[in-house]
Each structure stands twice: as C-alpha cells, then as structure tokens.
C-alpha cells in the first residue's frame, strides 16, 4: 500500500506516518518524488487499518498497489529510476548506455585489448564473466577471482565500469568487491537466496530474464532485490525459449515497452544471448533501442574465433563500432542520446 502525502506535508508529518506504519508491524519506505512524496508500506497481508493512516496529518490518500510486485511497480514510483555509476554513467535516463565485452574473461591480454577497443568505440561499461554458469559442466567455467582481478585492472586502465556475474550467494561478496554492477544470469533469475544476497550487497544489480520466465515472474524476481533495500536494479531482456531453432533464443522486444509501462526500473537488451548468432546481433540491437531499451549489453571479442565461450555470437570490434554509429542515429530519432564516451571533452562555452 502507498500512503500518498499532501504536497505541503511537513517532514514531521512524513516521519509520523513512518512511525505509525512501523507501530502496526510493517515496513515503511519513504519515496520522495518531484510530484509527491509517498510512504510505501511493505509486508502487509491485506488487512491494514487504512483509516488510521488516512486520518493522519499531511496524508492525502492511501492507495492499494494492485500488482503482485510492489516496489518495482510504476504504481509505487512514477518516475524512472536512475542508476549512477562511479565513472559517471547514468542508466535509465535519456542516454542510451553501451555495455560490451567478451562473454568470459580469458586472459589479461584479451580483457585489456577488449577494454581499450570498446572504450574507443563508445562503451562505458565492460562486461566479462569471471564465474560462468555453463550449461555443460565440461565447458570453460571462468577464471574465478583471477578474472575479477583482471577486470579491475581493465577498469583502472580505461575507466570503464565493470559488470560481472555472481553465480551463488557465497560468491556475492567477492564479486561486489570488484564489480560496479553484479550480474544475475538467466539461469539464476529465480535463485532466491542469491537474489537476497545481491539485494544486500550495496551494489547495482543487472538482473537477466530467465529463459522461460514470464514478465510477472521477472518483475517479482526484481522485487526480491528491492525488498532487501537495493533499488539499483537494471533489468535485462536476453531472450526466451521458443519453438523455433533458427536462433538460440527469441529476443522478446515486446517485453521492453511492457516492462517500461509496468516498472520504473531501467531495462537493457542483450541481443547476443537473445539471438546466439553474430549476424543477428546488430539488427536486433538496433531494434531494441528503437523499442525503448535504456541500453545494450553485447558480447564483443577481439578474436571471436578463439573465444572460450559464446564465440559464435560475439561481434568483431569493427561490427560493434558500426552498430554504435547506427544506434546513435536511432537514439536521436526517438529523442535520446548515446551515453557520452569516456574520453569526450565537454564542449566549451
């Protein structure tokens, strides 16, 4: 439930509402906004005494949140959530963000070469798995902590922010030490202990849609993160299973405007896992931006033919560069901009 405060409600009145909600045995989350301040009531079982709150000073009305996910919903918060990274990248605003890198960190040379190329092409976030949740136990599982160290080295050298995956609850703290954004992979979207731990990490989380997850299940998974007090959640559409075998997955572009309507959280698209085919990544990346995605996360490898994982869907650096140019045109056509490259010098006067 949301307790909406009057425009001119004092800080004391808001505080009194928070106290009253806690006194009733529920959690209270003040939600300041440009238009209105509200206090969210969490953990209710549907039997809240509305009258007690409605009678309080400064309260305009109490609104039931109808969606099963609460804090994730647009009913809860009208304004888009913006996530600010230390290198200045803002996710969820009017700028389209470019996250790119190899599927997995393989060596110092591979990740440093990737980082330099990608920064020059306009990416501001570097992806790369150190812990890889592979379908087969015999496939390359990642370099582990050494991979995290190499990512930190690449950040130091280039200023790119780092997004990398945590695969189990016990590994979250280690990943959080190195990463700017913790990725939760599709296979783990409903790993609730992992979600809870990531929700407590204090780091932004990029949550990938499970391969058979409905949009409601996807948003409820995000709710686990917000329920732990972590509002910095980036959703990622990465394709769902379909009956067709021409592509690895079916990139569900409809999910982008649907999620935008239902939630205030940013959503990016992953056309790499969404298609599984290098030749389809660029067209679907363009389409995702046209559909309103807040950014892309794309696999790019300096030498995809030698990649230890997902080489067939990894772009050559030149393809990424070309895509960035095209996305720039699309972003402008819909009133957006591409994120400013890290080496851009602010225009004078």
3-state secondary structure of 200: coil
Task: Report if residue 282 touches Mn ion, rule: CB under 5 A.
Answer: no
State how far the Cα of 279 lies from the Cα of 37, in Å rounded to an integer: 48
**Token digits for 170?**
């016990």
Our CA angle for 321, 327, 329, nearest 5°, is: 115
State how far the Cα of 238 lies from the Cα of 18, in Å rounded to an integer: 38
Query: What DSSP assignment string belongs to 24-68?
Result: TT-EEEEE--SS--EEEEES--S---HHHHHTSTTEEEEE---SS
State how far the Cα of 276 lies from the Cα of 239, in Å rounded to an integer: 10
Q: How far is the CB of 181 from ligand PEP (least distance, A)?
A: 12
**Residues in 79-108 at the binding interface with ligand PEP, rule: CB under 6 A:** 103
Sign of the four-CA dihedral 26, 31, 36, 37: positive
Task: Report if residue 186 touches ligand PEP, rule: CB under 6 A.
Answer: yes
Asked whether the beta carbons of 343 and 337 are under 8 A apart, the reply is no
Asked whether the beta carbons of 209 and 218 are under 8 A apart, the reply is yes
State how far the Cα of 224 lies from the Cα of 71, in Å rounded to an integer: 10
Q: How far is the CB of 238 from Mn ion (least distance, A)?
A: 9
Q: How far is the CB of 285 from Mn ion (least distance, A)?
A: 15
Nearer to ligand PEP, 1 or 181 (CB): 181
State how far the Cα of 170 lies from the Cα of 19, in Å rounded to an integer: 35
Task: Report if residue 310 touches Mn ion, rule: CB under 5 A.
Answer: yes
Nearer to ligand PEP, 73 or 164 (CB): 164
Nearer to ligand PEP, 3 or 115 (CB): 115
User: Which residues partner with 5 through β-bridges?
Assistant: 59
185 binds, among ligand PEP, Mn ion, none (CB under 5 to 8 A by kind): ligand PEP
Residue from 70, 77, 155, 238 binding ligand PEP (CB under 6 A): 238
Q: How far is the CB of 129 from Mn ion (least distance, A)?
A: 7
Q: How far is the CB of 158 from ligand PEP (least distance, A)?
A: 20
Residue nearest to Mn ion (CB): 103
Nearer to ligand PEP, 187 or 196 (CB): 187
Q: How far is the CB of 124 from ligand PEP (least distance, A)?
A: 18
Nearer to Mn ion, 46 or 137 (CB): 137
Closest-CA residue to 222 (of 254, 176, 190): 190
**Residues in 252-291 at the binding interface with ligand PEP, rule: CB under 6 A:** 270, 273
- The residue ranges that bind Mn ion (CB under 5 A) are 103, 310
- The residue ranges that bind ligand PEP (CB under 6 A) are 103, 129, 133, 185-187, 208, 238, 270, 273
């Amino acid at each position: 439930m949301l307790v909406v405060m009057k425009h001119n409600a004092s800080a004391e009145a808001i505080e009194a509402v928070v106290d009253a909600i806690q006194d009733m045995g529920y959690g209270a989350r003040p939600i300041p906004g440009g238009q209105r301040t509200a206090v969210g009531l969490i953990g209710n079982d549907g039997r809240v005494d509305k009258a007690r709150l409605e009678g309080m000073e400064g309260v305009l009305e109490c609104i039931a949140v109808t969606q099963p996910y609460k804090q994730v919903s647009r009913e809860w918060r009208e304004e888009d959530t913006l996530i600010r990274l230390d290198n200045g990248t803002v996710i969820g605003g009017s700028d389209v963000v470019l996250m790119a890198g190899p599927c997995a960190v393989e060596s110092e040379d591979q990740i440093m070469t990737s980082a330099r190329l990608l920064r020059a092409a306009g990416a501001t976030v570097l992806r790369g798995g150190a812990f890889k949740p592979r379908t087969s136990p015999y496939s390359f599982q990642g370099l582990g902590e050494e991979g995290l160290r190499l990512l930190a080295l690449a950040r130091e050298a280039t200023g790119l922010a780092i997004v990398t995956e945590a695969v189990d609850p016990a590994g979250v703290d280690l990943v959080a030490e190195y990463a700017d954004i913790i990725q939760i992979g599709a296979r783990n979207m409903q790993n609730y202990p992992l979600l809870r731990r990531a929700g407590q990490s204090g780091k932004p989380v990029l949550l990938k849609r499970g391969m058979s997850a409905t949009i409601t299940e996807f948003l409820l998974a995000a709710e686990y993160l917000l329920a732990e007090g972590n509002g910095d959640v980036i959703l990622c559409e990465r394709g769902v299973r379909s009956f067709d075998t021409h592509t690895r997955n079916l990139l569900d572009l409809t999910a982008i405007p649907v999620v935008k309507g239902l939630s205030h959280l940013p959503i990016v698209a992953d056309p790499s896992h969404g298609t599984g085919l290098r030749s389809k990544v660029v067209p679907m990346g363009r389409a995702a931006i046209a559909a309103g995605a807040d950014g892309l996360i794309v696999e790019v490898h300096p030498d995809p033919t030698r990649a230890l994982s997902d080489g067939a869907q990894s772009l050559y650096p030149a393809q990424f560069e070309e895509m960035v140019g095209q996305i720039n045109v699309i972003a402008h056509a819909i009133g957006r901009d591409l994120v400013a490259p890290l080496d851009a010098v602010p225009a004078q006067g």
